Amino acid sequence: MNVLILAPHTDDGELGCGGTINRMTSHGHNVYYAAFSAAKNLIVNEKLPIPIDTLEKEVARATKILGIPEQNLKIYDFPSRNFLQHRQEILDTMVLLNKRIKPDLVFLPSTSETHQDHQVVSDEGFRAFKKTTIFGYELPWNNLSFKADVFITLEEEQVQKKVESILQYKSQSHRDYLSEDFFRCLATVRGIQVGVPHAEAFEVIRLIVGKNMLWL
C-alpha cells in the first residue's frame, strides 16, 4: 500500500502512530510523511534558543528510525498556531499530495482534536482524501474524547522504535507527555483492550474495503 501520514507539526505523526508506521515500513508498505509546520515562526518570534532548522533535523532523524525513506518526508512551512488563516493553501497542498502519492490509507489527527492546527489538518484532510480510507490517531492531551474503533497490534520492537523516534525531539523534552513511560503505558492500555501486549488505537473516519486495503 501507499500510506500517508499527515502531521500538523513535526512530531505529531510519531506521537500518534509511530508504532504503526514502523509496523508498515517493516512489512514493505510505502509510507510517506507530510509535516505542515516545523514551527519556524515560533522559533523566530519567541526568540527560542535553538537553531531555526532544529525541528526539521529532529523529524528527519525520527522518521528514519521508523523506516521512512528520506525522499518520502516532506516538510512545509505553514505558521504554527495559525493554520486557520491558511486553510485553503493547506487543502490545496493536500490535493496535490493526493494526486502525487495516490494513498490507499491516510492517518491524520482525530476529529475530536482541540488544537487549532490539528483541527484544520483533520478537517481539510477529510476533504482532500474523502475517497480514501482514513484513520484518526489519538493525542490524549488534545482529545476532547476519542473513539477507539480500530486497534493495530504492535510487537515490542515496534513500540521501542516509536519511543526512540520520539526521543529524537530533544528540543521538546520539556513537554510532560514526551516520555517513554507515557507511550509505553498507552500502548499497554490499548493492547489490554484487545488481548495483546501492545497496540495503537485509531478512529475510523472513512473505511473503504476492497481498495488495496486489508491488511497491514
Residuewise pLDDT in 10s, the chain (216 residues): 999 999 999 999 999 999 999 999 999 999 999 999 999 999 988 888 899 999 999 999 999 999 999 999 999 999 999 999 999 999 999 999 999 999 999 999 999 999 999 999 999 999 999 999 999 999 999 999 999 999 999 999 999 999 999 999 999 988 888 989 999 999 999 999 999 999 999 999 999 988 665 556
Calculate the dihedral angle through the C-alpha atoms of 126, 115, 187, 169, rounding to the nearest 10 degrees. 110
| Per-residue pLDDT, 215 | 57
Whether 212 maps to a domain, the answer reads no
| Per-residue pLDDT, 212 | 63
Calculate the dihedral angle through the C-alpha atoms of 112, 113, 119, 124, rounding to the nearest 10 degrees. -50
Omega of the bond leading into 215 within 30 degrees of 0 (cis): yes
Whether 211 maps to a domain, the answer reads no
- Look-up of cell digits 483492550: 193
Whether 149 maps to a domain, the answer reads yes
How far is the C-alpha of 2 from the C-alpha of 105, rounded, in Å? 7
Whether 215 maps to a domain, the answer reads no
Whether 25 maps to a domain, the answer reads yes
- Look-up of cell digits 500518534: 16
Whether 40 maps to a domain, the answer reads yes
Q: How many domains, the chain?
A: 1
144 lies in which domain range? 2-206
Whether 214 maps to a domain, the answer reads no
CA-to-CA separations, 30 to 80, 86, 87, in angstroms, rounded: 28, 29, 27
CA-to-CA separations, 29 to 26, 143, 159, in angstroms, rounded: 8, 29, 18
| Per-residue pLDDT, 48 | 82
> What is the spatial order of strands in the sheet that 2-7 belongs to?
73-75, 30-35, 2-7, 105-109, 133-137, 199-206, 150-153
Sequence-ordered list of residues with C-beta below 8 angstroms from that of 25, at least 6 positions apart, any chain: 31, 66, 67, 68
Nearest to 121 by CA among 205, 31, 26, 25: 205
CATH number, domain containing residue 91 = 3.40.50.10320
